[in-house]
Structure 1
Amino acid sequence: MKVLIVDENATNLKILSMLLAKDNYDVKTANSSDSALAKMSKSFDLVILDTNLSDRNGFDTCKKIKENPEFRSIPIILISRESRTDDIVKAFASGANDLMTTPFKLEEVRERIAKQIKLRDLQNSANKSEVERITNEQMETIFSLAKLAQSKDDDTGHHLERVKRYCKILAVELTKPIYKQEITRQFIKDLELAAPLHDVGKVGIADEIVLKPDKLTEAEFEQMKQHTIIGYNMLKDVQNQFGDSKFIKMAMNIARYHHERYDGTGYPDGLSKTDIPLEARILAVADVYDALRTQKPYHDSISHEKAFEVIKGGRELQFDYMMVKALKKVHHEFEKVWDELGD
Structure 2
Amino acid sequence: MTPYAASAKLPRRPALTFVLAGLALALAIGLSGSFQLAPCTRLDRAILDTLQVHTASGRQAANTVVVDVDDRSLAAVGQWPWPRYRLAALIDRIAAEQPSAIALDIMLPEPDRVSLTEIQQTFKRDFDVDLSFNGVPAALRDNDGYLGQQMARAGVVGARYFYFDHATRDDRPLRPGIGFDGRVDLLSLDRASGVLENVEAIARQTRVNGFVNVRADNDGVLRRLPLLIEYHGVVHASLALAATMHALGVSSARVESGRDGLSLRIGQREVPIDPSGYALLRFNGPSHRYPSISAVDVLAGRARAQDLRGKIVFIGSTAAGLNDLHRTAVDRLFPGLKIQSALTQDILDGDIVRVPVWGAMAALIAGMLLAALLCGLFVAGCSLAMLASVGLSAALVLLALATATFLHASLFLPVAAPLLVLGMVTALCVVVRAALHQRRERHWRKQLENARQVTIESMSAVAETRDPETGAHIKRTQHYVRAIARRLKGTGHYVDVLTEEYIHLLFLSAPLHDIGKVGVPDNILLKPGRLTEDEWVVMRKHPEFGRQIILSTAQQIEGDNFLAIAADIAATHHEKWDGTGYPAGLLGASIPLSGRIMAVADIYDALISRRCYKEPFSHEVSTTMMREMGGTTFDPVVLDAFFEIEDEIRRIAGCFRDEDEDEDESDSPPARSSDSVVAPAETSV
TM-score relative to the length of structure 2:
0.30
Q: Which residue of 2 aligns with 1:230?
A: 545
Instruction: Report the AA paired with residue 332 of structure 1.
Output: D
Deviation per CA, 1:257-309: give whole Å up to 9, x if none. Answer: 00000000001100010000001100000000000001123222111111111
Among 440, 464, 474, which residue is 1:160 paired with? 474
CA distance in 2 between partners of 1:296 and 1:174 (Å): 30
Q: Per the alignment, do residues 304 and 151 of structure 1 end up closer, same or farther by CA in structure 2, a change over 3 Å counting?
A: farther
Asked which structure has the greater CA Rg, the reply is 2
Q: Per the alignment, do residues 141 and 183 of structure 1 end up closer, same or farther by CA in structure 2, a change over 3 Å counting?
A: closer
- Post-superposition shift, 1:217? 1.0
- Post-superposition shift, 1:190? 0.4
- Note if contact 1:281-1:319 (Cα within 8 Å) is conserved in structure 2: yes
Q: Per the alignment, do residues 135 and 172 of structure 1 end up closer, same or farther by CA in structure 2, a change over 3 Å counting?
A: closer
CA distance in 1 between partners of 2:596 and 2:452 (Å): 27
Among 486, 496, 505, which residue is 1:172 paired with? 486
- Post-superposition shift, 1:137? 5.3
Q: Which residue of 1 aligns with 2:642?
A: 327
Q: Which moved more, 1:206-215 or 1:187-196?
A: 206-215
Deviation per CA, 1:13-71: give whole Å up to 9, x if none. Answer: xxxxxxxxxxxxxxxxxxxxxxxxxxxxxxxxxxxxxxxxxxxxxxxxxxxxxxxxxxx
Q: Percent identity?
A: 36
Instruction: Report the AA paired with residue 463 of structure 2.
Output: A
More relative contact order, 1 or 2 (CA 8 Å, 6+ apart) = 2
How does 1:297-316 map onto structure 2 within 5 Å?
A: 297-316=612-631
Among 476, 492, 501, which residue is 1:186 paired with? 501
CA distance in 1 between partners of 2:582 and 2:540 (Å): 7
Q: Secondary structure at the match of 2:562?
A: helix
- Note if contact 1:150-1:199 (Cα within 8 Å) is conserved in structure 2: no
1:150 maps onto 2:456 in alignment: no
How does 1:121-136 map onto structure 2 within 5 Å?
A: none
- Note if contact 2:516-2:545 (Cα within 8 Å) is conserved in structure 1: yes
CA distance in 2 between partners of 1:210 and 1:132 (Å): 36
Q: Which residue of 1 aligns with 2:655?
A: 340
Deviation per CA, 1:228-275: give whole Å up to 9, x if none. Answer: 111101111223232463521111100100000000000110001000
Q: Which residue of 1 aligns with 2:354?
A: none
Q: Per the alignment, do residues 155 and 262 of structure 1 end up closer, same or farther by CA in structure 2, a change over 3 Å counting?
A: closer
How does 1:10-29 map onto structure 2 within 5 Å?
A: none
- Note if contact 1:262-1:273 (Cα within 8 Å) is conserved in structure 2: yes
Q: Per the alignment, do residues 330 and 133 of structure 1 end up closer, same or farther by CA in structure 2, a change over 3 Å counting?
A: closer
Q: Secondary structure at the match of 1:242?
A: coil
CA distance in 1 between partners of 2:447 and 2:615 (Å): 43
- Note if contact 1:308-1:331 (Cα within 8 Å) is conserved in structure 2: no
1:206 maps onto 2:521 in alignment: yes
Instruction: Report the AA paired with residue 542 of structure 2.
Output: H
CA distance in 1 between partners of 2:494 and 2:617 (Å): 31
- Post-superposition shift, 1:133? 6.7
- Backbone CA RMSD of aligned residues: 2.5
Among 236, 255, 258, which residue is 2:573 paired with? 258
Please state which structure has a larger fraction of its residues in helix: 1
Instruction: Report the AA paired with residue 143 of structure 1.
Output: E
- Post-superposition shift, 1:209? 1.2
1:245 maps onto 2:560 in alignment: yes
CA distance in 1 between partners of 2:593 and 2:557 (Å): 24
CA distance in 2 between partners of 1:247 and 1:292 (Å): 29
CA distance in 1 between partners of 2:654 and 2:585 (Å): 34
Structure 2 unaligned regions, length at least 5: 1-442, 659-685
Deviation per CA, 1:65-86: give whole Å up to 9, x if none. Answer: xxxxxxxxxxxxxxxxxxxxxx
CA distance in 1 between partners of 2:445 and 2:644 (Å): 41
Q: Secondary structure at the match of 1:188?
A: helix
Structure 1 unaligned regions, length at least 5: 1-128
Q: Secondary structure at the match of 2:610?
A: coil
Instruction: Report the AA paired with residue 637 of structure 2.
Output: M
Q: Secondary structure at the match of 2:645?
A: helix
1:273 maps onto 2:605 in alignment: no
Q: Which residue of 2 aligns with 1:215?
A: 530
Which contiguous aligned blocks of 4+ residues in structure 1 show a shift greater than 6 angstroms? 129-136
- Post-superposition shift, 1:136? 7.0
Q: Which residue of 1 aligns with 2:607?
A: 292
Q: Per the alignment, do residues 135 and 235 of structure 1 end up closer, same or farther by CA in structure 2, a change over 3 Å counting?
A: farther
Instruction: Report the AA paired with residue 152 of structure 1.
Output: R
Q: Which residue of 1 aligns with 2:410?
A: none
CA distance in 1 between partners of 2:465 and 2:586 (Å): 29
Q: Per the alignment, do residues 154 and 342 of structure 1 end up closer, same or farther by CA in structure 2, a change over 3 Å counting?
A: farther
- Note if contact 1:191-1:247 (Cα within 8 Å) is conserved in structure 2: no
Aligned residues: 215
Q: Which residue of 2 aligns with 1:14?
A: none
Q: Secondary structure at the match of 2:622?
A: helix
- Post-superposition shift, 1:212? 0.8
CA distance in 1 between partners of 2:625 and 2:589 (Å): 21
- Post-superposition shift, 1:140? 3.6
- Post-superposition shift, 1:331? 1.3
CA distance in 1 between partners of 2:452 and 2:497 (Å): 28
- Note if contact 2:456-2:511 (Cα within 8 Å) is conserved in structure 1: no
CA distance in 2 between partners of 1:327 and 1:149 (Å): 26
Instruction: Report the AA paired with residue 295 of structure 1.
Output: R
CA distance in 1 between partners of 2:571 and 2:640 (Å): 24
Q: Secondary structure at the match of 1:241?
A: coil
